[in-house]
Amino acid sequence: MSLVARWLDLRERIDVLMESLPASMGGAERARCQHLVFGVVRHFGRIETVLGRLVAHPPRFVTRAALYVAAFELIEASAEGGDAGQPARIVHHSVEKTKTMASPAEARLVNAVVRKMATILPGQRPPGPIAPADALADFFSHPEWLVRRWLAALGAGATRSLLEWNQSPAPLYARWRDRSIPPADWLQPSEWKGFYTVPSGRWPDVGPLLKSGSLYLQDPGTRLAVELLGPGPGEPVLDLCSAPGGKSLLIADAMGSGRIVSMDVPASRIDRLKENLSRTGEVEAALVQADLLKGPAAVLREHRLPVEYPAVLVDVPCSNTGVMRHRVDVKWRLQEGDFAKHARHQGALLGAAARLLAPGGRLVYSTCSIDSAENERVVDAFLDRNRAFALEKSAVAVPWIDRHDGAAAFLLRRA
């Protein structure tokens, strides 16, 4: 409840919130905490609408947190067809927690409100197939402006599928990096080669494998850009905007030998990038902390590294519209004007990346967005300005069809 109260008050990033949990917290307790926090944030809009009808004056954030957690538990119980006594247990638990974390008076408020929610939330049904944007936004807990954007770009059916996808809990995927056979008794093969599903409750098994480098938590959608780039053995590769390093590691594993140069601005994720680059095995890895838009060639020279590469990947910052099932708070942070702002920044990054590509080389531009403003339109604008480049191939994955995170990748060749 304290993490939910912090999110309601400060809108901290979910990953930052989860990292604040004490290291001494047990695996099962940590998993339950994450489940509740993610559930509240995922269903925030729907819960907010119901609470707005029941509570005239919002109480303290800690008391609000108790209401939101109880509301999510009621939604979850209804979806799973829980037993008849479950709502009463949810009411009792929320009241007792409020007594401990707030006050008896606030506990009485929680008791009254949660009892009312227990009669409202289970009875709510999804909107019909031709429902307007406001009804879809309300039930599926997305900003209305974003639903309208998707309806215009994708159509009613695809938008409904995307909303349903985003509201479903995400499985945990991992990539097996070791040459040995993965533990088949619990690591479940996915339909994508090298990627596995990690079942819940196996963190004691996962932790040591992550520490040893045999396993890396990674969604199958990340493979698209690397597959298009097609890094070969012994080839020097430049990975731009590379933190936290998941794609750098995937490139290194695909190469087997050679050198990868990973560049990003100095930031908090640099530590994770350093850790990932320490696990590239036979592939030599170099980390360059530099801003791609501020003279990266000079920094490369300072590191005695080449300033042109035959293979370059630039995985640009974006709206994250393809990964909202995993990053449940993104939809509440995203603003309508962000798409145009991102596109301008992405175009500048793509142009800067192109200047580091050797003649005849290949450049992959990638995002985790499913919005054409950040994908096709950025690439088209770049090609209009740079006649020496041609688009050879592209791959766009949409979650409701490809069954993993959304992603886009475009392979450009320099003459």
Give the pLDDT score at 269: 82
Which pLDDT score is estimated for 70? 97
Q: What is the DSSP pairing of strand 357-367 with strand 258-264?
A: unpaired
For 143, residues 6+ apart whose C-beta sits below 8 A from its C-beta are 45, 137, 331, 332, 334
Tally of CA atoms within 13 A in the half-sphere of 326 that contains its CB: 19
Instruction: Give the Cα separation of 381 and 210 in Å (integer).
Output: 41
Query: What integer pLDDT is reported at residue 66 of this predicted model?
Result: 96
**What are the domain boundaries of the chain?**
2-123, 133-166, 173-217, 221-414
Burial class (CB in 10 A: 0-12, 13-18, 19+), 181: exposed
Assign domain 2-123 to a CATH class.
mainly alpha
CATH classification number, 221-414, choose in 3.40.50.300, 3.40.50.150, 3.40.50.10860, 3.30.1490.20? 3.40.50.150
> What one-letter code names the amino acid at 6?
R
d(Cα 364, Cα 312) in Å, to the nearest integer?
6
What strands, in cross-sheet order, belong to the sheet with 215-217? 188-189, 195-198, 172-176, 215-217
Which parts of the chain sit beneath pLDDT 70?
268
Q: What is d(CA 161, CA 5) in angstroms, rounded to the nearest whole number?
A: 31
Residues 284 and 252: beta-carbon distance below 8 Å: no
Equal CATH topology for 2-123 and 221-414: no
* Residue 277 CA: distances (Å) to CA of 120, 155, 244, 263, 270: 51, 42, 10, 11, 10
Catalytic residues: 368
pLDDT reported for residue 375:
98
Please check whether residue 129 is in contact with residue 160, taking contact to mean a CB–CB distance below 8 angstroms: yes
Alpha-carbon gap, residue 206 to 198, rounded angstroms: 8
